[in-house]
Amino acid sequence: MDIIHTTESQITASEPTATKLKASDADAIELPELRNDLSMSHRTGPNAKLQPQEIGASGGNSGASPAEATEAAPGPHAETKKSRWLSRVQVSTLSMTLFVAGWNDGCTGPMLPRIQQVYNISYAVVSLLFIAGCVGIVAGGLSNVYLTAKLGFGKVIVLGAILQVIGYSIQAPAPPFPVFACANGLIGFAIAVQDAQANGYVAGLKDSAARLGIMHCIYGVGAFASPLLATQFAQLRRWSFLYLVSMGVGILNVIVLIAVFRLKGQDECLAAAGDALVQSREEQLSSTHGNTYNQIFRQRAVHLIALFILAYCGVEVAIGGWTVTYIIDVRGGGPSAGYISSGFFGGLAVGRVALLWLNKKLGHRVAVFTYTALAMVLELIIWFVPSLISGAVAVSLVGVLLGPIYPIAMSETGRILPNSLLTESIGWITAFGWTGAAAVPFLAGLLAQEKGIWSLQPLCVIFTSL
C-alpha cells in the first residue's frame, strides 16, 4: 500500500530533461518533458492557453518568460458560465457510465446463489464468471490504446456502452452457462473501455481529485441500487429478466453519451468545456518517439499503480461477490441476505464523498494506510464474531473505508503521468489491476469448494494487508 508515496520518484522520463510543474492539490512534482510538448509554436499566439498545472500560484509560468505567460493566457477557451455548465454535464454523463458499471458489479453477489442453483454448478464452476469477466477486462484495457488512436474518445466510449447492452441481451434469456459466462466477458470488455475513457478524461481536469471522488461515488450508488432489485429477481422464476432491466439502464447510458459528447474527440470536448490542453493529445502522441505501448511500459509508476489496483479490486469484488453466499451458508442468513451486498456498496459510495475532507487533511498516503488498517480490523470482526447483525454492519463499514482508495489512486495517476499517456495508461492499469477482480474471487471459489465458504474472510484479510 506504499504505492502513493513512491510513484513520484519512480517515473521514467521520456526525455533526459524534466519540467517542474505546480499541481493544484500537491507539492511540486516532476513530469517528463515530451519532445516539442512545450515548443514555442504551441505556446505563443493569441489563441494559446496554458493549463492550470503550468501556472504557479503566483501567476508565473514555469519554464517560460513572463511575456510568454502573459501572451499565452488569453484565448477562446477561457472559462465562461456556459463552459462551466457544459463541464459539469460532461462529468455527470461520465458518472452515469460508472453508475452502469457499478450496477453490473452489484448484481453479481445476490445472483450467485441462484445461478448455482439454476445451472446446478459448484463454487469453482460459478467462479468462472469472474474469470470470463477478467479476460474481457484485460482485452478491453489493452485494446483501449489502439481503439483510442483509431476512433477517438467519443466513439470508443459509445462503442463500449453498446457492447455492454449486447452482453445483457445475451444473458437475459438465461442461455447455457458457457454462453452466459462468455457474455460476462463481453460486458467486462465494455466496462474496461468505458472506465479507462471516463477516468482518463476526468483525471486530466482541474480539481480532478474531488471530481473523481464524486464520479466513483456514483459507481457506488449504482452498485448499491442493483442488489436491492437483484435480491428480488433471485427469488423469481424468471430470474434472468434482471438483465433486461440492466439492458434498459445500458441503453439510457448509450443515448446520453451520444447526446453529450456527440462522438467527438477528447480535445474537442475539453475545448468546448473550457478545458483545452496546451497541446492536443493527438499532437502530443505524434510528437513522442516510439510506440505508444513502449511509452506506457517505460513508466514504472504505471505498473506500481496497477499492482496496487490489483490487490484493491480483488478485495472489493471478492467481498461484493461472495459475502451474500458467506452470510447464507456460514451465518444462516435467508434470501434477504442479498441486501447486505447493497450495504457494502452503499458504504463504498458514502466513503468516496464523506471522506474527501479527511483525505485532504491526512494526505493520500496516510489516508490509504489508515483506511486499510481499519478495514482489516472489521474483516476480523466479520470472521470471528458469530453474529449476523454485527457482520452486516461491519461489511457496510468496510465499504465506507475501501471507498476512497480507488479514486485516490486515479487522482495520483492523473497527477504524476503526462496528459499524452493518461487515458492509455489508465487502460493498462485497468486491464492489469482488474485481473485481481477475477483472480481473488476465483481463488475464493476454489477455497470454498475445498475448505468451505468460511475461507473468504482470511483471504480478504491477506489481500487487504498487501
Residue 31 DSSP SS3: strand
Quote the Cα angle for 308-376-137, to 5°.
35
- pLDDT for position 138: 85
Cite the DSSP H helix spans in 234-299.
Answer: 242-261, 266-272, 281-287, 292-297
- How far apart are alpha carbons 78 and 274 in whole angstroms? 6
Q: What's this model's pTM, rounded to 2 decimal places?
A: 0.72
Asked if residue 216 lies in contact with residue 352, where contact means CB atoms within 8 angstroms, the answer is yes
- pLDDT for position 327: 87
> Locate cell 474518445: which residue?
153
384 burial (CB, 10 Å; 0-12 / 13-18 / 19+) is exposed
All domains in the chain, ordered by first residue: 90-465 (1.20.1250.20)
pLDDT profile of the chain (466 residues), mean per 10: 47 41 41 40 42 41 41 51 86 95 91 93 90 89 86 94 97 96 95 90 79 88 92 92 96 96 88 59 47 78 88 89 86 81 90 90 92 94 89 93 90 81 79 79 86 86 83
- pLDDT for position 400: 94
- How far apart are alpha carbons 256 and 96 in whole angstroms? 9
- How far apart are alpha carbons 214 and 421 in whole angstroms? 23
- pLDDT for position 258: 97
- pLDDT for position 291: 66
Closest CA to 207 of 416, 21, 50, 52: 52
402 contact partners, CB below 8 Å, separation of at least 6? 312, 315, 316, 348, 351, 371, 375
- How far apart are alpha carbons 301 and 281 in whole angstroms? 20
- pLDDT for position 376: 93
Residue 313 DSSP SS3: helix
